[in-house]
Structure 1
C-alpha cells in the first residue's frame, strides 16, 4: 500500500516531500546509457531531487526538467590522491554535474590526520565551486563516534555543503539513525546531512529524516515511496 504520509516522532512527511529529498541513484559498474535514461525518466515521474550516476555516465542527455544531476568522486574506496579526486570532480562539473559526492580517505581519519582530510576535501571543493554542491562521504559505519565528529568538522572547515553517511559499498554497513543524528548535531544545520546505504523501506527513510537527514540516497526509490521494500543501494 502506498503511504500518503508517514511520521516518526516529530516528523510528518508526505510521499512527494520525501521524494524531493532523494538522490535517485544508479552506480552499478554495468550501467548503460539506456539504464541512465530509464533512471532519469523515473526520477522525473517520482519527483526526486536529483539522479546520481557514475562519472563515466556524464553528461546526462535525457530530459530531466528540474531534476539535478549528481555524481561521485574517489568512489567507492576513497583511496585516491587529493589531486586525482580534484581532477575527477572538475571533469564531472565540466560534463554537467550539479553535485559531487566525494569519498574521503578513511585511513587519514583513522590515523588522526584530520589536517590532511581537510586538505583533500578543500582540493575537491576548489574543483566544485558554488553554486555547485559538494557532499563528503565519511563512511560512518566504519568510524567511531569521535571519528564521525572529527570527519564532519573537517568537511565543514573545508567548505563542504553536505556530509554523507556512506557509499553503500563498505562491508561495515550503510546509514544508521544514530550516525545521522550525530552528524546533524555536529554540523548544526550549517551543512546538510545525506543518509545513504541500506535505506530500503519507507519506515527507515522517514527515520533517517527524523534523525536529521536533509537528503537521502536511494536506488529502489519507487518501492520505498510505495511503502514496500527495495533491493540495492
Structure 2
C-alpha cells in the first residue's frame, strides 16, 4: 500500500504522541493523554520523571539518556529499568552520539546492550541515533549495532539537536539497513500530513509527533 492512500486512523495507529519539553507540567501531560485518546493514537511518550502515568488504553513510552546521550551506560540502564518498573512499555534511548561520530561502534553496541539487559526483552527498545548529526556510514553502522544488541526500533532524532530532525534520506537508509528486522521511527520536525506520509513512504513504521492533531487533520478519514 502506498503511503499516499493511508487514512487518518491508519496513520494514528503509528503515532507516539509526544511531550518532552523541559517545561512540561503534570497538567500538560494529562492533557497530552486526553488528546491521545481523542486522536486514537498508539502511544504517548513522556519524560521519565512523569512516570508512573495513568493512560489506560494507550502504550506508555519514555526516553532515557535524553537528549544528549552523554550519560554513563549504567545510568541509562538504571533509568530505563526504573521507567519500566513504573509502567513504561517502550523505552527510547539516546546513544552516545560522539562515539558514533568517532566511529567507535563497539562502544555504541555496548551502550545499547547495557540498556537492553537492564530492561529484559519484553519492553520495546528504540535506539535514537540522531541521524542528522551522522554521516551515512555511521548511520548504517549504528543501525547494525542496534540490531545486534537486540533493539526493536531505530529512531532518527531527539528533536533537540541543532543539526535537525528526521529526513527522508535518513529514514530510507535506516530502513534499508535494518531490512525489516527492526522498526524505524521517524521523529523530529514532522509537522504536516505531507511530511508524515513522506516519512512513511521512505520506510518509517512509527512516527514521533508533538503536533499529532495537525498531522492527522490533513489526512482523509
Cα distance in 1, alignment partners of residues 70 and 173 from structure 2: 25
Cα distance in 1, alignment partners of residues 35 and 121 from structure 2: 28
Cα distance in 2, alignment partners of residues 130 and 49 from structure 1: 20
Cα distance in 2, alignment partners of residues 94 and 143 from structure 1: 33
Q: What is the alpha-carbon root mean square deviation over aligned residues?
A: 1.3
More helix by share: 2
- Compute the TM-score of the two structures, normalised by the length of structure 1: 0.91
User: Where does structure 2 lack aligned partners over 5 or more consecutive residues?
Assistant: none
Identify the residue that residue 158 of structure 2 maps to in structure 1.
Answer: 167
Q: Secondary structure at the match of 1:195?
A: strand
How many residues are paired up?
A: 219
User: Where does structure 1 lack aligned partners over 5 or more consecutive residues?
Assistant: 1-6, 229-233
Instruction: Point out 4+ residue stretches in structure 1 off by more than 3 angstroms.
Output: none
Contact 1:22 1:48 in 2 (8 A): yes
**1:10 shift after superposition:** 6.0
Question: Aligned ranges for residues 47-66 of structure 1 at < 5 Å?
Answer: 47-61=40-54, 63-65=55-57
Q: Secondary structure at the match of 1:168?
A: coil
- Compute the TM-score of the two structures, normalised by the length of structure 2: 0.96
**1:69 shift after superposition:** 0.2
Cα distance in 1, alignment partners of residues 106 and 6 from structure 2: 39
Cα distance in 2, alignment partners of residues 182 and 29 from structure 1: 31
Cα distance in 2, alignment partners of residues 178 and 64 from structure 1: 36
Identify the residue that residue 210 of structure 1 maps to in structure 2.
Answer: 201
